[in-house]
Structure 1
Amino acid sequence: MLEDYSNNYDVKCKLDTCKTYPIITDSERGEMFCGGCGIVLVQNISDTSNEGNGYGQEDFLKLSRTGPATSLTMYDRGLSSVIGANKDSSGNTLSNKTKYDFKRLRTWDQRSKSRSTVSLSKAFTILNGMKTKLGIPDSVVENAAYIYRKISSAKLTRGRTMASLVSASLYAACRENNIPRTLDDIAIAGNTERRILSRDLRTIIKKLGLNLNQYDTSSFISKISNNMNLKEKTKRDAFDILKRCEIKEITAGKHPVAQAAASLYISCIINNEKISQKKFAEASGVSDVTIRNRVVLIKKTLKIME
C-alpha cells in the first residue's frame, strides 16, 4: 500500500527536476522513494501498523511484538522486569566476574520481594494447578484471581489456609460463570477439606458481598452424561424430564446435581440403558439415597410409569 510522504523523515531528492514531485512511502517494503525518478531514499522503515490478532501459540510468536498481555493470574500482572540470561544485548557471553555480579543481583531481587508478593505468587501457582486438574477456562481463572486479590486486600487470609481460600475463590468464579463444578470437585483438586472450604466460602461471600447465582441444572446433565458415555437420546430425554420438573416447580430447593442425576436415571430406564443408581451416585458425587428420593418424587409428580 502506497502512502503520501510523512514529515517524520526529512528527506528530499537531490535532482532539481524532482523538487516538485512528492516523496512516496511504501509501508509493505519499508522504503521511501522519489515520486519523480523513483530513486530509493530511505530503507528499513520501522513498522508502525497495528499488531495482528493471534489465536494460537504459533500466531502469537509470529505476530506479537510487545510481549503477552497483562494477567491477574500473575503476581506482578506480567509487568515486572526480569534479570535475563548471562548474555549482553548483542548476544555475547558475559565475563565470569559479570556473571557472578548478575547472579548476586538475581538473588537479592528475589529476597527483596515483599511478603504479599510472595504470597500471591504461591497462591496463583496453586490456582494454575487446579485449573489444569479441573479444565477451567482462562476467563474463569482470571475471575478467580480477581476474587483472591480482593480477599488479600480485605485481609481475610489471617487464620485461614491459602489452599482453602484459593479453592473458595475458584468455586465462586465457577458459580458466577455457570461452570458446573461441585464443592467436592474443588476440594479434591485443591487438596482441602470440604468442611473448611464451605466455611471459608461463606465467609468471603459475606465479607465481599458476592452475589452467586444458582447453577443451571442442565449443565450438570451434560457433564454427568459425558462422563458416563450415555446415548444422545438419553441426554435429550433427561433435558425434557428436567424441563417438565421445572414447570411443575419441584426443582426449587433441591440439589442441582441430584436432580440432574435423577433425570438421567429415569431417562436411562425409558431408553433401556441398564445403569444402576450406584454408578450415578459415583459419577455425580451424590449419595444413591438422595438420587432415589429424587427419582420417586419425579415419577410421582410427572406420573412416569416404568
Structure 2
Amino acid sequence: MATRDIYTTTVGENVQDESNSNRCPECGGRVTTNTVETICKKCGLIVDEQRTDHGPEWRACDRDERKRTGATLTAARHDRGLSTEIGRGTDANGNMLAGRKRRQLGRLRREHSRGRFRSKAERNLAQGLGEVRRIAGVLELSESIRDQACQLFRSAQNEDLLPGRSIEAMAAASVYGACRCNGLSRTLEDVTELARVEHSRVRNAYKTMNANLGLPAAPVAPREFVPRLASELEVPDRIRHRATELAEWAKSAGLTIGVRPSGFAAACLYKAGREDGWYLTQSTVAEAADVSATTVRTHRDALDELIV
C-alpha cells in the first residue's frame, strides 16, 4: 500500500510539473513552442526564444568528415568566403557523372558564375583579391600577411584609388605594403617580378596607397635581409651571426640611413666572410642582393672605417 502511494504521489508530481511548464508564468495561459520561440497563446508573452536546435546539420556527406561548422570567414574572398562552388566530374559520393548531367552542371556553373557579382566594383574586387592570393602564395607569405594585403586592397577600393590604375598594380602594391608594415625582408623588386605589370606602375601604386591610407610602414633594417642572403649564398651560421652584429653596429652608428637595406646586408655578409676566411666575391654577393658590386664595395669601406 505504501509503495502504491509513493508511486501515485511521484506520478502526480511529474504531471503537475509538466502542466506548469506548459503554462504562462504571467497569466497562466497555454504556451506553444515553434523552432524559434515559446509564446503564450493568451497574452502573447515570449517565454523563451532562440532555442538551440540539437538536430543534425552536417556540412559533409562523408561520415568521417561530418562537421557542424563551415569554413571560417576570410578577407581573401570578395564575399568573405560565403559563396557556393559547384564541383566538377563527380557527385557527392565520388561517382562519375553522366554526360547529360555534366552538361547540365556546366550550364548551372556558368549561370552561377554570372550571378556571383552584383556590380562591376565587386567583380574588380574579386579579380584584385585573386591576384593578391597568387602573389602571396608564390612568396610563401603567411595567411595573416595575405589577409592584411587583401584588406589593404579593400581599403584602396573604398577610397577610390583604383580608377586610372591597374588592378594588378594595386594588388602587388598591397602585398608589398603588408610586407613593409610587418617588417618583412621583401623588396619592391621581389614583388614586381611576380606582378603582371611594369615595375613603375607598382611603385606608383604603392606611393599612392601609402600617401592616401597612411600605412605604418617603418624602414626595414639591413639585419632583416641577412638571414635570407645567407641562406641563398649557403654561408655558415657563424658568418651570418657576425654579419648581423655588423648590421646592428652600423645601424647604431647611423650608417644605414638612406641606403638600400639589401645592399648594406650584402656588404655585411661580404665583410664577415672575409674576416672568417670564407671568401665571397663582391659580384656574387651583389647578385644575390640585386645590387651592383660598387654598392657592396662602398658599404664595405664604410664598415671598415667603423670597425677601425
**CA apart distance, 1:137:** 1.0
1:292 and 1:90 mapped to 2: Cα distance? 65
CA-CA distance at 1:19 after TM superposition? 4.8
- With over 3 angstroms needed to count, the CA separation of the structure-2 counterparts of 1:109 and 1:184, relative to structure 1, is same
Give the conservation status (yes or no) of the 8 Å contact 1:238–1:267. yes
Amino acid at match of 1:259: F
Which letter maps to 1:296?
D
Q: Return the letter of the residue paired with 1:107.
A: R
Distance in 1 separating the partners of 2:7 and 2:282: 94
CA apart distance, 1:294? 0.6
Cα deviation for residue 159 of structure 1 reads 1.7
Match of 2:136 in 1: 131
- d(CA) in 1 for partners of 2:67 and 2:123? 29
Give the secondary structure class of the aligned counterpart of 1:275: coil
- From 70, 73, 81, the equivalent of 1:70 is 73
Matched, 1:263 2:268: yes
Paired residue for 1:109, among 112, 115, 123?
112
Q: State the partner residue of 1:276.
A: 281
Quick one: distance in 2 between partners of 1:95 and 1:153? 45
In structure 1, what is the Cα distance between the partners aligned to 2:217 and 2:66?
Answer: 39
For 1:188 and 1:95, the matched residues in 2 are separated by 44
Q: CA deviation at 1:70?
A: 0.7
Q: Deviations over 1:187-226 (max 9, x none)?
A: 0011332222111111111122223111132110011101
1:222 alignment partner in structure 2: 227
Counterpart residue number, 2:205: 200
1:81-160 alignment, distance < 5 Å: 81-82=84-85, 104-112=107-115, 113=117, 114-160=119-165
The one-character-per-residue Cα deviations of 1:242-297 (angstroms, maximum 9, x if unpaired) are: 22212322222221111111111000000111111111111111111111111111
Counterpart residue number, 1:236:
241
Give unpaired runs (5+ residues) of structure 1: 1-14, 23-44, 49-60
Query: How far apart in 2 are the matches of 1:219 and 1:90?
Result: 50
Partner residue of 2:259 out of 237, 254, 260: 254
1:292 partnered with 2:297 = yes
* 63 and 250 in structure 1: CA distance in 2 versus 1, 3 angstrom threshold: farther
What is the one-letter code of the residue matched to 1:246? K
CA RMSD in angstroms, aligned pairs only? 3.5
The letter for the 2-side match of 1:243 is E
Give 1:116 shift.
Answer: 2.1
Code of the residue aligned with 1:117 in structure 2: it is: E
The answer to whether the Cα contact below 8 Å between 2:222 and 2:256 also exists between their aligned partners in 1 is no
Q: Percent of aligned pairs with the same residue?
A: 24
The unaligned stretches of length 5 or more in structure 2 are: 1-5, 15-53, 58-63
**Cα distance in 1 between the residues matched to 2:136 and 2:206:** 18
Report the Cα distance in structure 2 between the residues aligned to 1:279 and 1:85, rounded to whole angstroms.
49
What residue in structure 1 maps to residue 171 of structure 2? Answer: 166
Tell me how far apart the structure 2 counterparts of residues 214 and 90 of structure 1 sit (CA, whole Å). 53
Give the greater-gyration-radius structure (CA). 2
Q: One-letter code of the match for 1:158?
A: P
Contact 1:245 1:302 in 2 (8 A): no
Q: How many residues align?
A: 255
Measure the CA separation in 2 of the matches of 1:186 and 1:242: 24
Moved more, 229-238 or 214-223: 214-223
Secondary structure at the aligned position of 1:72 is classed as: coil
Task: Identify if the C-alpha distance between structure 1 residues 63 and 281 changes in structure 2 by more than 3 Å, giving closer, same or farther.
Answer: farther
1:302 aligned partner: 307
Counterparts of 1:285 and 1:201 in 2: how far apart (Å)?
20
2:225 counterpart SS class: helix
Aligned to 1:80: 83
> What one-letter code is carried by the residue in structure 2 that aligns with 1:278?
S
TM-score between both structures, scaled by the size of structure 2: 0.72
Q: By how many angstroms is 1:155 displaced?
A: 1.8
Q: 1: CA distance between counterparts of 2:9 and 2:243?
A: 80
